Amino acid sequence: MKKTKSAVATPAAELNDEWMDKAFSAVCEFANTHIGEEHLAEEIRAFAQLRGVPAIKDSRAWGPILKKAEKNEVIEHAGYAPTVSSNGSPKVLWRMVGLTKKN
C-alpha cells in the first residue's frame, strides 16, 4: 500500500503554534533552572507537562523544539544516555546552558 503525503508528515506537522511556543518556553525555563546539568528529553518533557504543556501522543514532536533550543544556545548536545522511554536505547543527553543576554 502506497503511503500518502499525510502518512509521512513530520510529527510536529499537526501541532499548533501555541503548543510549540509553550513547549519551547518550558524548555527554556527548565534550562534556566538546571544550568550546567545534563538531562534527557524525557526529563524535559515531564517538566513541561508539569508546567501545563499538553502531553502529545508522538514524543518525536519534541525534536524540533529541542533543536530550536539548541540553535538558540539554550541547551547543547552533551553525549548519549540510555532512556526509560526507549527501553534503554541511547538518546541525546542535553546540557542545560540557559538563557543569557546574548539569547
- CATH fold for domain 16-96: Arc Repressor Mutant, subunit A (1.10.10)
| b/e burial code for range 64-91 (CB count within 10 A of at least 16 → b) | bbbebbbebebbeeeeeeebeeeeeeee
Q: What's the half-sphere exposure (Cβ side, CA atoms, 13 Å) at 23?
A: 24
Q: Report pLDDT for 15.
A: 75
Model confidence band, residue 7 (pLDDT cutoffs 50, 70, 90): very low
Average pLDDT over residues 86-96: 94
Contact 54, 13 (CB under 8 A): no
Average pLDDT over residues 76-102: 89
Average pLDDT over residues 68-88: 94
Of 5-19, 51-65, 69-83, the one with minimum mean pLDDT is: 5-19
Q: From CA 39, how far away is CA 61, in angstroms rounded?
A: 18
pLDDT, mean over the chain: 86
